Amino acid sequence: MTLTEPETYIELGAPLTDAHDSVWQRLGQCGTWWTGEQRVAAMAEVRQALRCALCNERLEALSPMMVAGEHDSVSELAPEAVDLIHRLTTDPGRLSKEWALLVIESIGEEAYVELSTLVCVQYVVDSFARSLGLPLRELPEPQFGEPDKVRPEGVGDVGAWVSQTIEKSLANVSRAGSLVPETEALWREIVQAHYSRGPQFAELVWDRALSRPQVELLASTVSALNECFY
Amino acid sequence: MLRASSEALNSEVDLEQLEAGADVANGELLVRYAESAVRQDSDLGRVRAALEEQVGPGGVIEAAATIAAFEGLNRIADATGIQLDSGLADESADFRAALGLDAYAGAVSTQSTGIPARAAGVMEIFR
């Protein structure tokens, strides 16, 4: 049996590693609604969520809302923000609109979207490393700055839980984070590198190391395991 | 996308046999790798080695990249409560119920269940 050493995957997957390098440092920069320090604190919470006793207990429960308690937090972020990060990390398929609206009421709609998008970008990078047996990256150094808290124009209610770009040019999932364009740009970059790769997305036959049906089988399996309807 | 891309290669997939690999080449092993990676099972290294024997290191990297992408895509969709695109609702209308997908919590976010219809291409699915 041949097996590539995990470190060799870094060399073979250089284009992805480059994308990760680029995105990772910018996750530590000041965002539109959260400071760099808060964003890096959120990243620490993403990793902590996988060791959180409350999250583990909720995963075993019929409904996560049946189990009260406090998360094993490692930051000074507001409890509602910590709850968002931990639940999105460990149990995304059972989030509800009612719960989301309570979190949004507490931290604000734009801050909710920025934090969610940040969690998702980090989860992609961390998941890639775990899947290949690679060590997780060290968290980025938080950068200074004050969030400008500017809400973009052209966003509104398009039937999701949060406001998004009204103009629909691509899939709904591609505008999910459009309420916070700067962080959404990191999200788009990472998805492009990992999966859609520009105009190739529109082609049903791919010239990659795996065929498109093989890639889509993986996608379907992950979505089923996460009980993701979309 | 799984069905459409398989048809483009003149092959058929069995969507009801997803766990068995749905008749995709190396499908069963790919599914095992995805399961092991998502659940962080203790056999992940062994499954990855078995997959590498079949698809090579480049195939393993592509698989890991896809798994990671959808771990993120699932989460952004669930966190923001987006609806199915109308083309996607139509495209999946004939198998969602059979596969139990309509029972997922996120299903309540989509108002239209869709009318069974096949899209002409990828971009038509996401209209």
Enumerate the residues of chain A whose CB falls inside 8 A of the CB of residue B118: none
pLDDT digits (tens, 9 = 90+) for A78-135: 999 999 999 999 999 999 999 999 999 999 999 999 999 999 999 999 999 999 999 9
Q: What is the pTM of this model?
A: 0.91
- The shortest C-alpha distance from B115 to chain A (Å) reads 16
pLDDT digits (tens, 9 = 90+) for B52-74: 999 999 999 999 999 999 999 99
Enumerate the residues of chain B whose CB falls inside 8 A of the CB of residue A86: none
For B7-15, the CB contacts below 8 A with 24+ separation are B7/A204, B8/A204, B8/A205, B8/A212, B9/A205, B9/A211, B9/A212, B9/A213, B11/A213, B13/A213, B13/A217, B15/B95, B15/B99
What percent of chain A stands above pLDDT 70? 99
Rounded Cα distance, B89 and B125, in Å: 8
Residues A104 and A115 sit within 8 Å (Cβ to Cβ): no
In the block, which residue shows the tokens 């019929």? Answer: A62
Distance of CA A18 to the CA centre of its chain: 18
User: How much is the pLDDT for B87?
Assistant: 72
What 8-state DSSP symbol labels residue A112? Answer: H
- The shortest C-alpha distance from B117 to chain A (Å) reads 17
Reduced to 3 states, what is the DSSP secondary structure of residue A156? strand
CB contact under 8 A, A116 and B53: no
User: How much is the pLDDT for A200?
Assistant: 83
CB contact under 8 A, A170 and B49: no
Comparing A7-11, A127-131, A174-178, the range with the smallest average pLDDT is: A7-11
Complex confidence, ipTM:
0.95
Nearest Cβ partner for B83 among A125, A160, A193: A160
- Compute the mean pLDDT over every residue in chain B, rounded to the nearest whole number: 82
- B45: nearest Cα among B53, B36, B54: B36
Indicate if the alpha-carbon torsion angle A141, A19, A138, A108 is positive or negative. positive
CB contact under 8 A, B48 and A125: no
Residue B120 has pLDDT above 70, yes or no: no
